[in-house]
Amino acid sequence: MTSNGQTELETVRKALPAELAPRIISARQREDRWTLVVDGEGLDAPARERMEAQLHSALAPGGGDPAPAIAFMGERVRRRIIAIGSGKGGVGKSTVTANLAVALKRAGVKVGVIDADIYGPSQPILLKSEDLKPEAEGETLQPVRGVADIPMLSMGHLVAKGRALAWRGPMAGRALAQLFEANWGDTELLLVDLPPGTGDVQITMLQKFKPDGAVIVSTPQDLALADAARAGSLFDQGEVPILGLVENMAGYVCPHCGEASDPFGSGGVERAAGRLDLPFLGRIPLSHSVRESSDAGDPVALGDTPEAQAFHAIARQIAVAEGLAKA
Ligand SMILES: Nc1ncnc2c1ncn2[C@@H]1O[C@H](COP(=O)(O)OP(=O)(O)OP(=O)(O)O)[C@@H](O)[C@H]1O
């Protein structure tokens, strides 16, 4: 009991706005320091931060008292799933996924990666986890840790290297389910590297593990753009909001003479985004360092080069769109 006869729980609840008060599960005060257990179900990261700030100012207003210790219970954040798709192969979708994961991680997001490109898994190389094998607890896989300590799973971790995966339909669906139903722990955002095109895996994913959003990667060529638009309509039909388009391999700066050229054209994806009424998230240059670092399992986004900054700028937009960072 506090000095005026209220229980500690009542004291705390009274100090809070009416909508937050019922979320306090228990409250205890010892030597001026409050310890609170809070129901965090359904609160996203910014909402939790706001609530923490409100609790601080309500319970330790002058700054003289120690800040309350706050434990959130329950589902802190509903895990968000963002699919990274492309209309055709080879446009750099996997490279973009790996680098966005690193950039999101560096921005403080608890990010994980599912390599759903079960026919040609490349994330184990890109995120340097080729030699790791996921352990299973019963039926549930434990993700391995790739570069930057990113939890990840890929069919590349589960089948012998180089073995072609010619699975179709139900088998592909089951393989995918194993990856999604793994123990993702406190991961708040899962990036899913989809196979190119609009086949079985995409359909299974839309039906069973519907993403919260999709990012479409394209090169600036007309052909790639037409395919990207098709990938877009797949997500539209599945009622998955498209967060935007990324232009990859845009503009090449010769490392020797510094001359800039546009082997695949330029600005095409931004114009296509305008036509399709979709956000344009940014462009990644065609660059030796992107390819070399990918091959080495050392994504450029770990550094601060202009290429890295291009990935960081796109990652920031995704984090904001998903409520995991402030605008
Ligand atoms: N911005 C870039 N600059 C230079 N090389 C790049 C860039 N983006 C990707 N690449 C290279 O292009 C090749 C294809 O990239 P990636 O495997 O990421 O494409 P993808 O769209 O995922 O292909 P897939 O159809 O096999 O899934 C790789 O060798 C990669 O290193």
Give per-residue pLDDT as tens, 98-142: 999 999 999 999 999 999 988 789 999 999 999 999 998 888 899
**Average pLDDT for 4-16:** 77
User: Are 153 and 114 within 8 A, CB to CB?
Assistant: yes
Q: Give distance in angstroms: CA of 292 to centre of ligand 1.
A: 11
At 3, the pLDDT band (50, 70, 90 cuts) reads: very low
What is 106-166 written as a DSSP string?
HTT--EEEEE--TTS--HHHHTT-TT----EETTEEPPEE-GGG-EEEEHHHHS-TT----
Name the average pLDDT for the chain: 86
* Of residues 170 and 76, more confidently modeled: 170
Burial 266-293 (b: 16+ CB within 10 A, else e): bebbbebbeebebebbbbbbbbeebeeb
- Atom of ligand 1 at shortest distance to CA of 307? 1
Mutation probe of ligand 1 site: the residue of 84, 94, 215 with most atoms within 8 A of C-beta: 94
Q: Which residues pair with 191 in a beta bridge?
A: 82, 113
SS3 178: helix
- Alpha-carbon distance 41 to 35, whole Å? 19
Does the pLDDT value for residue 213 go beyond 90?
yes
- Atom of ligand 1 at shortest distance to CA of 291? 31
Q: Give distance in angstroms: CA of 230 to centre of ligand 1.
A: 20
User: Does the C-beta of 287 come closer than 6 Å to ligand 1?
Assistant: yes
Which of these, 250, 234, 254, 253, lies nearest to 242 by C-alpha position? 234
- Alpha-carbon distance 95 to 14, whole Å? 51
Provide the residue type at 193 as one letter. Answer: D
* Residue 89 marked as a ligand binder: yes
> CA of 157: how far to CAs of 81, 90, 163, 226, in Å?
21, 21, 12, 33
Q: Rounded to 5, what percent of the chain is helix, strand, coil?
A: 40, 20, 40
pTM for the predicted model, two decimal places: 0.78
Least confident of 26-35, 299-308, 317-326: 26-35
Q: Give distance in angstroms: CA of 120 to centre of ligand 1.
A: 12
Q: Give distance in angstroms: CA of 286 to centre of ligand 1.
A: 10
Q: In what helix (H) or strand (E) does residue 190 lie, and over which residues does it extend?
A: strand 189-193
Q: For residue 263, what are the contacts with CB-CB under 8 A and spacing of at least 6? A: 249, 252, 286
- Atom of ligand 1 at shortest distance to CA of 284? 1
pLDDT for res 229: 82
Beta pairing class for 242-253 and 213-218:
parallel
Beta pairing class for 189-193 and 80-85:
parallel
At 166, the pLDDT band (50, 70, 90 cuts) reads: low
Q: Give distance in angstroms: CA of 90 to centre of ligand 1.
A: 5
Q: Which tokens sit at 76?
A: 């802190």
User: Does the C-beta of 95 come closer than 6 Å to ligand 1?
Assistant: yes
User: Does the C-beta of 86 come closer than 6 Å to ligand 1?
Assistant: yes
**Average pLDDT for 228-232:** 82
pLDDT for res 1: 42
Which of these, 257, 192, 211, lies nearest to 80 by C-alpha position? 211
SS3 46: helix
